[in-house]
Structure 1
């Protein structure tokens, strides 16, 4: 028996490959199929089942493409009503994979079709649970992401409590917990950086499992929930109803365009130009009206948060060799309308002496010197509210990147703002968006709050642990 966790850091998402005696099962695959096909080929195995723990909101799953390429059966839990052929399993239904068995445990709460998959080894021992978004390490799934339901989040949290206490917590302490996500995912609020644990440890240390009553549990898991990113319900619908095959999307998105063709496409179809280079590279020169969302960060989730239309035509400016990766990462969150990339990257644009712009930036030390001379210096802190409230520069204004599009009216165009985030990624995204909207008086503080704090010379609010603000 082989169990492999396939973790994708930029989405904080875990898929799973289980193999026994030449048969394999995949749990919650991402949209690209090659990682799963390659593993099965290496083992000489046939993918028999594709198990979906629920209709995911934070990414587009690869179950349809993988099933089309392998003939594997897609399996959902009770109450799921997908718009395509799938096996809707009964609670406690078992599926043989070689010499092991996978038992579906219906665990509604995160969503009503949510299910956990229990792995039973060759000797009949309950070995591991693949919990999707029902149980995380250190947390449980949000009860406010279900697709089109009349149930309140309190109702769903009540279902989640029952699922945990009747289906999962009675299992042996030695059972390994394999969750669907780790820290960084918006599907929970207090996830650990660890991505596996024993159920026994979770019974002792997971805050949500310490509640003494259903009422206390409901209150705790619904407290402090921020609105989910706008693309979540749209991805959930795609996962439920179906979507275009990823191979066609990659073929369209990896069309190389000369600078002239790139500019014409941008003008003719109103395409959004996304520059995926690092913040430092972007600041030194970029195409007018392009937006920087770097591949080195949580690229896909930030696109999903900031670009409201999944069908928005997108053009890419990428380092050579990174074009296909960028198209695929867009497709992972349902942005399937990438129409090409700039051949030769930004250098080819420069070589033709086409119009460019730059971002003014200063080091943390320079920023501190200016602040000391003028404590009323306008400062925009684009970190999340919880980060800002935990500790910030006295006098700074919080304008979280997540909600930038809805709050631009708060920015005074007459002022020159110093913009920072935690480390420099989000501030460059924010400045590039504002630049494209006509804001000009913006200065990036390189290295962000981490670099500013290291100087030790600025008045900061007293530190508050972010988890106490939930």
Structure 2
């Protein structure tokens, strides 16, 4: 028996590849199938089952492409209603892969169809669970994502989750390994650990939601407290996972279409496409195509695309670093942004060399900021998360998280200058590009963000550990 966790940092997502005696199973695969096909060929095994723990909201799964390419059967837990052929398992149903077994444990709460898969090894021993978004390391799945589909409140779903955990998961032996679908950084929970594997016993000791003698009422209160609104693309990804989607190869072919400067410009005007520039923020600020939005590929790229671009069907034209076109297309497809209609051949330099119009961002470094800012007089906008701001911030700064920019942008006075920063410059350049695309130029963005500002003499509040304010 072999178990491989295939972890994707950008999405904080874990897929699982399991083999036994010539057969294989994959749990919660990502959109692109080639990494899984390579493993199957390498090991000389036949993919028998593709197990889905639930209809994912934060990424588009590769279950359909993988099934079409291998003939493997897709399996969901009880109550799932996909619009394609799949086995809808019953609670406690067992599937055999080589010499091992996978037992379906229906664990509703995160969603109604959510299921945990228990792996029983060659000796008949409960070995590991693949808990999906039911149980994370240090947290449990948020119970607010399936309210409309379930016609239930988040409190009612949290109650179901409480019993799923107590009646199905916590009854397992302490040495059973826990393999979750996500880790720290995912929007599917609120307090996840950076660790990506644990045991039932460890979680009973360290996971706040699994503590002994916890009442259902206490669980509901604590699990629902402090939940931020889910990103807008979540519902659209659920629909794609449930109804189906274009093949990844088709999406890749469209996005990999190389366009000359004139073709790129004409297509932008014809389609109204969003121009997405994925270069480093330091390069972007020095010159970019007017109206471009900068979300750097070297960061939490896909989640920020999903959070800030309202519609997955939005036509997108890409400007990337040379050689990173396919990576960009792939990472966009993971969160359902399939309407990619091409990329600028040769990248931004070809636009620049064609003497086309170029825009820039007014960026200064932290020392220049230190010289120019007047605490109590200058307006300062901190676009970090609320917890980062609460932990420590510049005195008199306003908290305006990037995730909420579509709400607070309408309150900006275009005649009032402000300074803007995040933690390191990645998020503030995203905000700067959005602001300028919407006609605002009355700001100065700070290179290096709060990390650089903290090294200056600018007055700041006392630090409070973020874990105490979540």
Give TM-score, length-normalised by structure 2: 0.98
> In 2, Cα distance between the equivalents of 1:443 and 1:35?
43
| Alignment partner, residue 370 of structure 1 | 372
Aligned residue number for residue 132 of structure 1: 132
Q: Which residue among 316, 319, 332 is the counterpart of 1:317?
A: 319
The answer (yes or no) to whether the contact 1:413–1:441 under 8 Å persists in 2 is yes
Quick check: 1:424–1:447 contact (8 Å CA) kept in 2?
Answer: yes
Q: Can you give the 5+ residue segments of structure 2 that lack an aligned partner in the other structure?
A: none
Matching of residues 332-371 of structure 1 within 5 Å: 332-371=334-373
Whole-angstrom distance in 1 between the partners of 2:136 and 2:371? 44
Q: What CA distance in whole angstroms lies between the structure 2 residues aligned with 1:75 and 1:409?
A: 46
Correspondence for 1:302: 304
CA contact (8 A) 1:15 1:30 kept: yes
More displaced stretch, 222-231 vs 356-365: 356-365
Q: CA-to-partner distance for each residue in 1:271-330, whole Å, 9 max, x for gaps? A: 000000010010111111101000011111111111111111000000111111111111
Matches of 1:272 and 1:409, distance apart in 2: 20
Separation of aligned partners in 2, 1:81 and 1:287: 44
**Alignment length (residue pairs):** 468
**2:375–2:395 CA contact under 8 A, matched in 1:** no
* Offset, 1:465: 2.9
Question: Which residue pairs with 1:222 in the alignment?
Answer: 224
- Counterpart of 1:103 in 2: which secondary structure? strand
Q: Contact 2:285–2:362 at 8 Å: present in 1 too?
A: yes
Quote the Cα distance in structure 1 between the aligned partners of 2:14 and 2:254.
27
**Deviations, residues 378-408 of structure 1 (Å, cap 9, x unaligned):** 1111112222222211111121111112221
Matched, 1:30 2:35: no
| 2-structure distance, mates of 1:63, 1:309 | 23
Query: Which residue number corresponds to residue 329 of structure 1?
Result: 331
Distance (whole Å) between structure 2 residues aligned to residue 212 and residue 16 of structure 1: 31
Structure 1 residue matching 2:193: 3-state secondary structure: coil
1:422 counterpart = 2:388: no
Distance 2:90 2:264 in 1: 52
Cα distance, 1:374 vs structure 2: 5.2
Farther off after superposition, 219-228 or 233-242: 233-242
Deviation at 1:467, TM superposition (A): 3.3
- Map 1:21-420 onto structure 2 (within 5 A): 21-146=21-146, 148-210=149-211, 212-371=214-373, 373=374, 375-420=376-421
Alignment RMSD (CA, Å): 1.1
Q: Specify the SS of the correspondent of 1:273.
A: strand
| Preserved CA contact (<8 Å) 1:416 1:442 | yes
CA contact (8 A) 1:224 1:469 kept: no
Show CA shifts across 1:15-51 (max 9, x none): 0000011100000000000111111110001110000
TM-score, normalised with respect to structure 1 = 0.98
Q: Indicate if the aligned counterparts of 1:19 and 1:98 stay in contact, CA closer than 8 A.
A: yes
Moved over 4 A (4+): none
Take 1:368 and 1:45, find their aligned partners in 2: how far apart are those partners? Answer: 61
Taking the aligned partners of 2:110 and 2:409, their CA distance within structure 1 comes to 33
Distance apart, 1:183 and its partner CA: 0.3
Q: Alpha-carbon deviations, 1:54-74, whole Å to 9, x = none? A: 000000111001000000000
Range that drifts further, 434-443 or 257-266? 434-443
Residue pair 2:375, 2:396 contacting (<8 A) in 1 also: no
